[in-house]
Structure 1
Amino acid sequence: MPAFAQVSTAPAIFPTPAALRLTGPSFALGDAVVLVRAKGVDAATEKLVREVLATAGVRDVRIAAALPKRLDATYVVIGEGNAAPVRDALARSGASVPEQDEGYALASQASDGGALVVLAGRDGDGLYHAAQSFRQIVARGRVSSVTVSDYPAMPVRGTIEGFYGKPWSMAEREDHIAFLARFKANTYIYSPKDDVFARDKWREAYPADTLQALGKVVDVANREHVNFVYAISPGPTICYSDPKDLEAVRRKFAALRGLGVRSFYVALDDIEYTKWNCPADEAEFGKPGEKAAASAQAKLLNAVQGDLAAAGHGSLTMVPTEYYNTTESPYKAELRKALDPRVVVQWTGTDVVPASISVSDAKNATKAFGRKTLLWDNYPVNDFGETTGRLLMAPYDRRQAGLSAELSGIVSNPMNQEVASRPAVAGLLAFSWNDRDYNVQRTWRAAALDLAGGDAETAEALLTFFDTQHVAPTFGHLPWQPQAPKLKALIDTARDALADNDPHAIAGSLAALGEAADALAAAPDRIRAGVVVPGFVRETGPWLDAAQLWARALRLTVDGLTAARAGQPGVARYFAEATELTGKAAAIRSIPGATRFEGPVKVSDGVLDRFISDAPGLVYLAPAPSLKD
């Protein structure tokens, strides 16, 4: 028998790196390594590296200050690229650190008598990203031999908790920030519409216990290398000309600054800008109108930007009252002219919930606002009427590669359901890291694996369930993502086979559809048993229950069609039982208080319900013979 060389395969890293090269066979870490830690490595980065090593079976970690001339063990070197031991390790591995902010190099290779793994960051954030990639190249105690050179395409990547309805809990925010870090995001914007102390009562101080709880979230964000951005929404009541209101904004920001927040945001969306909140504004800015509103807003924002610059805290972010489209207007023209160029402007695309976003759209936004915009992408948010009864779990899609050249970044506005938002958000994070190499379906599966703790069977069950929640509505009647595309393809094939009356095709298509029904019926139990994030099952419980009923109804429908084709008796019973199950499924409602709009949960609506309803009419059922006959 001929001997075959060991075959190694390139590991999957998400988000997709700028460059990854497989350099040799994988190698075992063993039960002991030597950790060479450069000065300045933060505790969270070292902790993550140690956790990866422990998961891989390493039990003994010794510390050294430098590499020996000859590697006599497995050495793991971590630090920023300008540190001496890191420079040595990079030279030996032939890797280099990119020049871009948050860039990193990761290299791993075995050598005679030992092995070398180096994690090198352009800065502390880049080093943390390197540790997240290191986690992904270690599997079953072995390390892939790779050289990775990586950096983000967009400076800002993350989420904005900017929805109406029930805000996330503090614990959910902490968990979400850890999720963001795993996908190399760097931004979380705190802007829940229903935080009364940020909007309706924005002048009032937070209660001490709330402020303390927010401080814990800020600590998690700082530890995870995620920028916590605090947003205030004074627009409904502010008097722009009143120095006391400016001082109120400053007081609120000062309180958050005391928690460790260094980035701030003023939201001026969803307000009336053709009337003033106080007579003094008309005296200073003139009669109410679009131009006057922009002038007043710019005065406020410029003052706050000056405060941040004086404190060394960078740029203020704002969302304008005209936050979507790029149509020229008196408001945009005045804002473009009067607003400090350092202020970051958010924009939601060509609509509030756009079906797609192109490079030309972003260029038009740059022209309209006089600077590159930060995209507020209203997906997968489900706080508007068209999303009633829905989870939005289709992958992130229809955003054009090349947007990284025209945007300052992207943040997702997620659902009220934090964990259920992750499949879509993960795609946005991967796209904003590397928009040119973003793979929709592979990243969607990576998000499922993240929820499943790496278990492939659970991930497949999740993807089966995600398909039933695939539709993505807009404010209009036409969704920008279709419902249940995988299931619909199987149903359409079965319909066509029945219409053609091809026995072989009918048998094959119904068998495939039956297998899909069985997989969907089994998915909820597998998800409940295998998903490692408990919040997912809690948030999606009604949909999991309904999906199982719909799947059983589909199985009965397929069996009914098969029995009818075979001329078996009692065919009507299959369809009747299926109809009974669909009635039970359709009666299941969303969790009270969980979302702004509540109602019956929807599972593959327009696909499953139509097929099950139509099925009895797709075959001719001969009437049962009477007793006389």
Structure 2
Amino acid sequence: MTPEPHLPELGTIEGFYGKPWSFAARAAHVSALAPHGYRFYHYAPKADALLRRRWGEPHPKEDFEALASLAAHCRAEGVRFGVGLSPYEIYLAFDEAARAALKRKLAELDAIGIDDLAILFDDMRGDVPRLAETQIEILNFVADHTKAGRLITCPSYYSHDPVLDRFFGERPAHYLETLGWGLDPAIGIFWTGPKVCSVEIGSDHLRRVAEMLGRKPFLWDNYPVNDGQRMSPFLHLRAFEGRDAEIAPLIAAHGVNPASQTMLSRIPMLTLEATYRGKGGTGLFGSAARDVAGERLAKMLEDDLALLQDKGLNGMTDEEKAALRIRYAAFDHACAREIVQWLDGEWRITNEIVLTQ
């Protein structure tokens, strides 16, 4: 009998720009995906300024209670709950004041009840002296002051993609090697693959990255996420491609950054378990769509895939958009309502949003 392929730890990283999910949607997402290998949920929406540019400020009581409730819900479902903290440009001046503020924030997150803590250095300027060394110092400080059972970091340069150097400055020489080999090997390191949004993440690539980082990479997969000015006009619905069962033993875990549309995200995310179990193929989308949306709506989505995922809002004619809106507005289902909202521009992302969140 052929042994069943290894299923890595899967999880959701709510790490996109724009309108964040509601707490009710988060809880429903956790419950829906937990039976399919999704064993962690990381709360890290770019819209939460109290985890980013205003990270030194405490969350208001109602937000704190909502996060604590979500953490409890995750535990009840057997899912690890984590928070992604982006202490904005703290490495530019990691002085006593910064240490005190960080210690206070870590205590607040501990009080929420987190299993995982992610310290995120992405989307910040990186062409500064001793970047890796200072980030190692910060992470060692965090490790000494958090009760989280697992600590993960996102480097300033989390892919070989040169787009990061264009936006955030040229990466320091040997930055990733210095960071990886200087960090405690128990600390995970996020990696998005060859690109920020990778079409394929292969075994040879992951072996090279593991050697560079001194540990297996913790995948932050930017599919089916559709934030950003270029991606928000598209719905990423097709099954995962370019990832297969062979990479399972080469990664620490596989986190998925979902789309802005809560229900529609479930369709591609449900296909990842089958992919790792060696059951990939053309039928994956249809099967997942039926599970999420039901038979009739799944057939509509399959018929309209080229319009939704390939042409997008900017490529469709007004007539095509109007026809889609009529079709889906007549259907009483959360997936159909999300398509109508998307057609109406609900999730349009501008560069201003990206630059200010």
So what's the TM-score if we normalise by structure 2?
A: 0.84
Contact 1:394 / 1:472 at 8 angstroms: preserved in 2?
no
* CA–CA distance in structure 1, aligned partners of residues 311 and 248 of structure 2: 24
Partner of 1:295: 133
* CA–CA distance in structure 2, aligned partners of residues 449 and 209 of structure 1: 36
In terms of fraction of residues, the more strand-rich structure is 1
Contact 1:373 / 1:408 at 8 angstroms: preserved in 2?
yes
Partner of 1:102: none
Q: 2:339 aligns with which of 537, 540, 545?
A: 540
Partner of 2:41: 188
* CA–CA distance in structure 2, aligned partners of residues 153 and 451 of structure 1: 22
SS of the equivalent of 2:252 reads strand
* CA–CA distance in structure 2, aligned partners of residues 302 and 521 of structure 1: 52
Contact 1:240 / 1:246 at 8 angstroms: preserved in 2?
no
Give the alignment of 1:319-468 within 5 angstroms.
319-325=154-160, 329-431=173-275, 435-452=276-293, 455-468=294-307
* CA–CA distance in structure 2, aligned partners of residues 589 and 334 of structure 1: 47
* CA–CA distance in structure 2, aligned partners of residues 399 and 320 of structure 1: 22
Distance 1:355 1:211, change over 3 A: same
Contact 1:394 / 1:467 at 8 angstroms: preserved in 2?
no
Comparing 313-322 with 292-301, which one deviates more in the overlay? 313-322
* CA–CA distance in structure 2, aligned partners of residues 250 and 239 of structure 1: 17
Give the alignment of 1:216-255 within 5 angstroms.
216-239=69-92, 241-255=94-108
SS of the equivalent of 1:367 reads helix
Distance 1:174 1:334, change over 3 A: same
SS of the equivalent of 2:12 reads strand
Partner of 2:111: 258
Give me the CA root mean square deviation. 3.0
2:311 paired with 1:590: no
Report the CA distance between 1:392 and its aligned residue: 1.4
Report the CA distance between 1:152 and its aligned residue: 5.2
Partner of 2:310: 471
* CA–CA distance in structure 2, aligned partners of residues 414 and 337 of structure 1: 30
| Larger RCO (CA under 8 A, 6+ residues apart) | 2
1:208-230 CA distance string (max 9 Å, x none) = 11101111211211111111111
SS of the equivalent of 1:160 reads strand
Structure 2, unaligned stretches of length 5 or more? 163-171, 352-357
Report the CA distance between 1:363 and its aligned residue: 0.7
* CA–CA distance in structure 1, aligned partners of residues 326 and 303 of structure 2: 7
Q: Which amino acid aligns with 2:337?
A: R
Work out the number of aligned pairs and report it.
334
* CA–CA distance in structure 2, aligned partners of residues 183 and 441 of structure 1: 19
Distance 1:416 1:250, change over 3 A: same
2:120 paired with 1:267: yes
Contact 1:396 / 1:440 at 8 angstroms: preserved in 2?
no
Report the CA distance between 1:161 and its aligned residue: 0.8
* CA–CA distance in structure 2, aligned partners of residues 152 and 400 of structure 1: 11
Report the CA distance between 1:396 and its aligned residue: 0.9
Q: Which amino acid aligns with 1:168?
A: W
Report the CA distance between 1:426 and its aligned residue: 1.7
Report the CA distance between 1:265 and its aligned residue: 0.9
SS of the equivalent of 1:350 reads coil
2:279 paired with 1:524: no
Contact 2:84 / 2:118 at 8 angstroms: preserved in 1?
yes
* CA–CA distance in structure 1, aligned partners of residues 160 and 228 of structure 2: 19
Identity of aligned residues (%): 28
2:96 paired with 1:207: no
Contact 2:191 / 2:217 at 8 angstroms: preserved in 1?
yes
1:296-324 CA distance string (max 9 Å, x none) = 0001112222344xx4x433100000100
SS of the equivalent of 2:245 reads coil
* CA–CA distance in structure 2, aligned partners of residues 371 and 188 of structure 1: 22
Contact 1:326 / 1:365 at 8 angstroms: preserved in 2?
no
2:7 paired with 1:153: yes
* CA–CA distance in structure 2, aligned partners of residues 225 and 465 of structure 1: 36
Distance 1:401 1:151, change over 3 A: closer
Partner of 2:167: none
SS of the equivalent of 1:230 reads strand
